[in-house]
Structure formats: C-alpha cells, structure tokens
Structure 1
Amino acid sequence: MALSNSLQSGQAPMLCQMCEESNEIKWKCLQCDFLLCTKCQQLHQKVKSTDQHIIIDIKDITTYQQEVNDQPDIINIPCSVHNGQNCCQFCKTCEEIICSLCFLQAHNTHDMIGLAKEYELTLEAVNNFHTEVEENILQIEKGLSKLDIRKTSEESLYESEKQKILNRERTLKNEIEMHTHNLLMKLDHRREFLRNQYKMKKIDQRS
C-alpha cells in the first residue's frame, strides 16, 4: 500500500529496509517493523536471532491487524490490589490473576502460570467444552428423532390393532345377530308346529 501510494504521488519507490536496494516490497517483519523484499525475507528467517519473528505478506497486514485487535488485551490488566501494577501471572492455587507485588507478598509459594499460557489453556478448554456441547446436542437430536420415529410407529401399530378389534366386533355382532335370527325362526317354527298338532288332535277327538 505504501509502495503504491509513493508511486502515485511521484515519490521515489520505497526500498527494502534491509538491503535498501530492491523496491519489490512483499513482506513485513512485525517484530522489526521492517518492509522486506523476498530475498531479505528468506535471509531474515535464517538468522538465529530473528528466526522466530513473525513475517507476513504485506497484502495480509490489514487482516492480521484485525485479528490482533479482536484478541483480548491480557498484557494491560490492572491489578485490583496494587495501583499502577499490571497483572502478569495467574495463581492456580487461588485461581486469580496477580501482579509481581502480589506474588512477592502473598503468592510466592503457590502454583503459578503465565497469563498468556493460562489464557491459551482456558480458551482450549472452552473450545473443547463447546465441541462437547455441540456433540451432545447432536446426540440428543438423534435420540429425539428416533423417539419420533418410534412414536409414529407405535401410533401406526395402535391404529392398526384398533381397526382389527373394531372389525372383529362388527363380525361378531353380525354372527350373533344371524345366530339369534336363526334361533328365533326355529322357535317360531316349533310353536307353529305345536299349534298345528294341537288343532289336529282336537279335530280327531270330535270325530
């Protein structure tokens, strides 16, 4: 960006801040705050004293800066006990952040860890917990889905059995009605037969 601005304004092209020869600026060392050409970037990473420096493509500077801004400031956390002191450690024994004076006065025998490391571990624990919660939610959703399927299946089975019972009821009713009708017909025939027999007997007696 600085290179393009210098060209547009008519200024001399910006040179690599290490070799001061190449104007093909493509990299920036965040620790040294140097703009580098590709050759110097490679050399910079080979030097033992700077091999751990963070070097990024100049096209990614804005994105990187945004990511840095989004991270919490764990360096400038004021101590709640000592005015003017920033917290620098986390006391695992007391589970609180402390400054150097706190350490000397009350925590020098406690189990300590650096703030950055504690933040990293806490963030990892939170992410793991978040993953575990999502997995549990997924399992619950699967379980509920199975319950819904089972409920639907049981409802279908219930309706099927209910229909069978009702059909059987109608069949039995029809059979009972038919049987009752037959019995009544036989009874009527029996009564008519007996009446006829009685009449015939009376006629015979008169004659």
Structure 2
Amino acid sequence: MRVESCSVCLDDLSEHVEAKYRCNDCGLFYCSGDGKRHAKKHPDHVVEELMHNNSSSLPINNLILNHHEICHVHACPINTYCKNCQQVICSACGLEMHKLHDCFLIDQIYNEEKIKFRVDLETLQKRVLQFDNLIGGSAKLDETLHQIEIRKIAEMDLIDELFDEVINKTNSRREYLKKSLNDMAVERINLITEILEMKQVIEKEALINIDKIEEMSKIDLIRNKILLQKKIYSTYDKMENNLRFSSAEQLNNFCLESDKHKLKVILDSIENLGRVNANIPSTTYLLNRHLDPIQDIIPDEFYYDRDNVTKEANLFTKTSYSGHSVVISSMKISEGVVEWRVDLKNICKWIGIGVCQKSVFDNKDFTCFKSPFNNHNYDVLTSNRYVFSCSDKTLNNTLRGLDFVDSNEIFCEVDCNTKTLTIRQGAQQRFSLQGLQLPVYPIIVLLTKGCSASINF
C-alpha cells in the first residue's frame, strides 16, 4: 500500500512525513499538524483522515466541530482538563507543559464536574439569598444610600452646633474680657481727668490768694484762710485718695492675666472634642464569615508639650532646645496587629520612634525620656542606632538599632499576639523587640530645635 507524504513538509522541509489527511478540494496530503491547521484555515474544505484499514474516513472538520475548540499551540482539539491550573487544554499540552499535573479527559470527568458545578451554583444562590436577607435586598441598599446622605447632613449640623457653642462661649468670654479691659482703661482715664481738674482748681485758688494776700484785711485774710482750708485741702485730700497709686506710671500698669496651664487644658479639650463613631459591633457575622473585632481607636489624637512642640496636621516640630519632648498617640494597642508609619522630615540631631506603656500615657509624661535610661517605661529606637527597651533589658541602651536618615519612611508594627514591636526601614532593614507589656501607645521623641516627624495611621 502506497504511503503518501505531507505536501507542506515536503515543500518546506524537504522531508517525507507520512500524510494523515487529504483535502478533497485542494487534492493535497497533510500530516497530522498541517492537516488540522489547513482545516482550521479553510473550514469550507473537506479534509478527510486517511484510513489504512479500509474503514470509512471521517472529515477532520467534523472532529473539530465535535470538540468545538482547537489548541492554538498544537492545533489539536481541546479535550483535557488540568485541575492544578484549572485550564482546559489539548492532550499534547497535557503531555508537555502539564505533564506533572493532574490532567483528565473532559469526557471522563464531565458528569462529575457537572454535579460539582450544580452544587457550586446552588451554594452561591443560597449565599445570595442569605445576603439579601441580611441587608434586605437591593431596595434596602438604595434606601440606605438615601438615609446615609440624610444622616451625614444631620451629623454635620450637630458638628456645627457643637463647635458653634464653643465659638459662642469663646466669643462671649472674649467680649467680656475686652469690656473689662475697656472699663478699666476708661476708669483710669476718668481718674486722671478728675485729678487734673482738681489740681487746676487748687492751683487757681492758691494763685489768686497769693496775689491778693497783701491787699487783704486782717479779717478777710483769716476768713479766706478758713475757706481755703475747707475747700482746697478737702479737694487735695480727695485727689490723693482717688489716686490710690504710688506713681502716675502705675495708672498704665494693667494687662490681661492668662493661665497657660488652663489654656493648655482648654486647647487639648477642643482638639479632642467629639469623635466620629462607626457604631460597628465588635463581632459581626456576614455570609458565615467571621470578621475580626474592630478596635474603637482615634488615631488622629495626640498629646504633647505645647510649650516646646508645635503640631500642623500630623507633623510635630520641636521649637526649643529644652531636652527630649515626647509626642504620645492616643491609639491604645492591646489586641490584633496594628501598623503605623513615621515620616522623618528633619532629624537635625536625634529622633526616637517606638511605643510607651500605659503609665506614661496616663500621666501624659512628655519628659519621660531622660537620663539615666535604666528605669523607664518605653521601647524606642533612635536615629543614631541606639535601643532603649523596658521590655528586653538586655537590649536597653545598646547600639544595635537602625540608622535613620531624613525623608525616610519608618514602618512600625505591634503584634499583640506575640507581644512584638517591629520597626522597619525599607525592604531589608528591620528590628524587633519582644515581650511588650500591653497596652502600649505609639510615640515619637524629639530632641533638638527644628527636628520634625509625622505619625500616620
């Protein structure tokens, strides 16, 4: 029996490759790969498989139609499923690129996968229904969108009312102080005016009597003297009594007395006035998935020494040379994993980053970072690589930390499960301190005038 060669391989490669297919329209013979490519390129041609056992031939087009898709790599029908890659492939792909994977003929696993697919769809349908029951359906969500807008406007009005009350009270106090100051100034002005008038009267009477004293009769002299004593001396006594000051300069000695400590308390109260609460329950079940408890934290509240540190947004800047100043965040870290970032804007000489214990937070001890560093309540890494740790005494006051530079982003993480503080700079540099005594609060320590950094959650 004559064996035909592939026309394409013979022309292109000068090789005799046994033909497996013949195109009745072109009259050419093709090997397995070229025959399938020809059938795909010319779907209207009749490309038949050569049958050497006298059985009837089947057009390759029918084979392609039965399998619907052809592999673009091997031009073979896609008939295999790779479970590892979750892809449908051809048998040749299964023997080559997926030979170490779990591959199955689609015909063999079709019924099994059909059952699984039906179960998946039914499960998804149940979850959709469960979700709809939970939220009340799409109509409920649309209604909630409208309610959120209404709630937002109402809460904004409450914020305005809250701060309008503070502003009104502040303005009222301001007007009271200004009125008190004005009344005192007017009183002093009136007093000086009255004194000047009385002084003028005394001088005038005295001058008149001095000029006429030689012309007065004895009786007039005695009478005028008596009148002068009654009028002039009483006026002078009144002038002295009204003055009530040892010198005229004291009349201008009045000012506003302000209590810096009380002012600081008021400013802190205003800065921490109000909070936006999500009102989310600590444990929520949604679609049978348990969500972690949400901590009630306000990461944008900080405590610091306003006499030596200024704050703009979350950027803190040291304004004096008065030793170390600690900035304490109000974020209480006691469970889960909490992360934050410290941006070093200007190190100047020295900056510290870390956490403090509850005693430092409760006492608002802004000067807790001071020598000697043997007994303290913080875990801090400094920009000059020193470690100060109350959790691991073996590392306290040692030169084993990280070398920070200006404009660096320092990433901090407290894992409450392992009680570990990790401080990371870049992808490679990191340092960890273990044995934290929870709860802890994030802090930065500023040493010299001009050094600045921000805390971001």
Query: Comparing both chains, which one has the higher relative contact order based on Cα–Cα distances under 8 Å and sequence gaps of 6 or more?
Result: 2
Q: Same fold (TM over 0.5)?
A: no
| TM-score when normalising by structure 1 | 0.38
- Write 1 or 2 for the structure with the bigger share of helix: 1
- Write 1 or 2 for the structure with the bigger share of strand: 2
